[in-house]
Homo-oligomer: A and B are copies of this chain.
Amino acid sequence: MIDVAEALTRVLHAARPLPAVPVAAAQALGLILAEEIRSDADVPPYDKAAMDGYAVRVADLRSGSAELRLLEEITAGAVPSCPVESGTATRVMTGAPIPDGADAIVPQEATELTHRGGEVQICVRSERVRAGQHIIRRSTLLRRGETVFSPGRVLTPIDVGVLAEIGRATVSAQPRPRAAVLATGNELVPAEQSPGAGQIRNSNGPMLCALVADAGAEVADLGIAQDDAAELSQRVRQGLAADILLLSGGVSAGVLDLVPPVLRNLGIEEVFHKVRLKPGKPVWFGVRRESQRSTLVFGLPGNPASTLVCFELFVRPALNRLLGRAEVSPPQVEGCLLREYSQPGDRPTYFPARLRQEQGTVRVELLEWRGSADLRTLAWADGLACFPAGRERFQPGDKVTVILHQSSTRPVAGRADAADDFSDRAGRTGNPACVDHGWAAPGRT
């Protein structure tokens, strides 16, 4: 039986970043940029007013005041029709282009309008007019051709604004992986159904869908398959359209544990079956390769905790790799045990834990867990404490590593290590921006 590190190595060997595709910038939030982004234009594209006022010539204001003839008024979006010559001024609104000849903006507050004959005069009183004041010069912010973002960047909401500014409505990015989730087992009924004798509800399917969506993938829920080779084969074939197919249940050595043989019969190459860990030992992993694409196939154990542990150890890194992220494994922290713990020691054990910060030390509180079917206690955990194999007893105060639950729905509170590098933005999960939620304002259909 291989160990966790070897299993992860094999998973990551099989998982390659998906080929980059064009993605609408609005949908690219959280995705990894796959191209160098250069500005297609100077920003701003013209000398521009930074505030409302009058475009003047500094030379006219040497004495500290002047009466100038008003030429015209330029709002943002309009263009000046004539240059500012000596003795004249043009009114400009914030964002408007500066007329030729003008070399400063005098704020509106420093001026007074007067009418003399048929003409409008501006009386300017301003002691210290600097050349260039309140003008944003063309290309001050970006020069045409300048690199704005490099490949590998995780796109943020502000980036979406920058991309719009330079005309990038579409970018090349690593797409969201397509994931399919299939729960197996004759005992399973959907959540909305009351279980009969010997039945339980399918919790792994909904949990895996939520985990996968939260990790940045698109997910298709394939529902529940009975323990029947023909039905399983048919559903698995559907799932092979995805980049990653997650099954739960049916991977043990029981008489109805049909998943491994069914997967092998469908031409999915087995990479490993069984890993030395607890819970989660029966996990199965294989790859279906086609000429242009491949599907990673995980047979996760049926117990919810086993499924969750295998998701964090193997599936999340695979998803992160498909997404092109630099950091593939979930964040970890080290902390001191609050109570003793003992185990047989033949396999590394993953145990739900909460973290507390006390006087600068991370304390690891092991929860009252009732075993690998106990999902509710896992929901209260901050992560999974890892007890390495080969050691039976752990004392209060002993250091243990905790793999943190990684979700956009909770703060990455225990991520003490991340504070060492504020510039690391590769490790977080993605989130679709401006996804069409089926809601539209009236008048838009």
Which A residues have a C-beta under 8 Å from some C-beta of B? 25-26, 29-30, 41, 43-46, 48, 50, 52, 73, 75-79, 93-97, 108, 136, 140-142, 148-149, 154-169, 176, 178, 180, 185-188, 190-195, 197-207, 209-211, 213-214, 218-222, 227, 238-239, 241-242, 252-256, 302-304, 308, 331, 354-357, 370-371, 373-376, 378-379, 382, 405, 407-416, 418-425, 427-435, 437, 439-444
Contact = CB atoms under 8 A, between A and B. Distances in A.
Identical chains in the assembly: 2
Given A161-B304, A373-B136, A411 B435 contact: no
B254 A211 contact: no
A368 B59 CA distance: 31
B29 A434 contact: no
Contacts of A370: 136, 140-141
A437 B218 contact: yes
A219 to B, nearest CB: 6
A195 B373 contact: no
A50 B195 contact: no
Contacts of A214: 29, 157, 431, 433
- Please name the 7 residue pairs, one residue from A and one from B, whose CB atoms are nearest each other, closest first: A161-B207, A77-B186, A77-B187, A157-B210, A408-B408, A164-B191, A76-B187
Given A214-B157, A412-B412, A434-B221, A25 B206 contact: yes
Given A75-B254, A158-B405, A431-B431, 12 more contacts: A44-B373, A78-B186, A154-B410, A157-B213, A157-B409, A158-B375, A167-B194, A168-B191, A408-B408, A413-B419, A414-B419, A429-B431
Contact of A302 (B94, B414, B427, B442): B94
Contact of A434 (B76, B159, B210): B210
A63 to B, nearest CB: 26
Contacts of A415: 411-413
A26 B210 contact: yes
A419 to B, nearest CB: 5
A382 to B, nearest CB: 5
A244 to B, nearest CB: 12
A227 B354 CA distance: 55
B218 A160 contact: no
A22 B403 CA distance: 33
A308 B202 CA distance: 43
A191 B210 contact: no
30 contacts: A29-B213, A30-B409, A44-B373, A45-B195, A50-B373, A76-B186, A77-B188, A78-B198, A79-B197, A94-B254, A148-B376, A154-B409, A158-B308, A158-B375, A160-B206, A160-B207, A162-B379, A219-B434, A220-B440, A220-B444, A222-B444, A408-B428, A408-B429, A408-B430, A409-B425, A409-B428, A410-B428, A419-B419, A429-B431, A432-B432
